[in-house]
Amino acid sequence: MDEAVVPGTSPRKGERPFTYGDYKSWPEGEHWELIHGEAYSMSPAPRRLHQNLVLQFAAELDSFFAGKPCRPHIAPVDVFLPEGDEAIDDIEHVVQPDAFVVCDKSKLIDEGVLGAPDFVVEVLSPGTAMKDQTQKRMLYESHSVREYWIVNPDTLEVFIYLLKDSKYGLPSVADLREATAVNIFPGLALRARPEDL
């Protein structure tokens, strides 16, 4: 690579656009996301606080959806967001949300998830915060993710984007120290337990 790469924010340099066909040929152990064919490094690994929050949310999601048709997932699982009916190897959007829920089982494929999740949670990391709040927010909006949460692990604030008329609009803000309702799933609320972080 000719230029320095800032993990999580600067795209990989070189030829582009990249596709899933390129991505799956890269060395094992490297973690990338593709947005508009640009490859973003997912290294280094998230901080312990980040992973503990994801674990707490995953446990709550798993408990709530037990025996229900919607299924929760956590990273790393590839989520493919095609622009049309392109072959999987030609897809230029491949992301790995921290936690997410898929209600349409036809989207579950061996490689991961083909199509937009219904609900996505991204916990901010220093290297990915800008991407999560800009490129990924716009990507999720354009692919109709119904509800998108951006969590600040340091303050335990959550910014909640709800899809309405194909747009997110301004987010609502909540404190995850209190149970916070997931709007699209009545009865589901997520709460962070700071004492267990």
Cα–Cα distance for residue pair 145/159, rounded to 1 Å = 15
For residue 79 the two structure tokens come to 């989520």
Query: What pLDDT sits at residue 11?
Result: 55
Query: What pLDDT sits at residue 15?
Result: 66
Reported pTM: 0.90
**Residue at 96 is within a domain:** yes
**Residue at 16 is within a domain:** no
Cα–Cα distance for residue pair 191/185, rounded to 1 Å = 15
Query: What pLDDT sits at residue 31?
Result: 80
Pairing of strands 189-190, 180-181: antiparallel
**Residue at 92 is within a domain:** yes
**Which residues touch 75 (CB under 8 Å, ≥6 apart)?**
54, 96, 97, 98, 99
**Residue at 150 is within a domain:** yes
Domain region containing 128: 46-196
The DSSP symbol for 8 reads T
**Residue at 139 is within a domain:** yes
**Residue at 18 is within a domain:** no
Cα–Cα distance for residue pair 55/63, rounded to 1 Å = 12
Query: What pLDDT sits at residue 12?
Result: 58
Mean pLDDT, the chain, rounded, equals 91
**Residue at 70 is within a domain:** yes
**Residue at 41 is within a domain:** no
Mean pLDDT on 106-115: 97
pLDDT band for 30, please (50, 70, 90 cuts): confident
For residue 182 the two structure tokens come to 């997931």
CATH of residue 182's domain is: 3.90.1570.10
Start-to-end CA distance of the chain, whole Å, equals: 37
Domains: count for the chain: 1
Residue tagged 């909006």 (tokens): 141
Query: What pLDDT sits at residue 3?
Result: 42
pLDDT tens for 66-84 read 999 999 999 999 999 999 9
For residue 96 the two structure tokens come to 């790995």
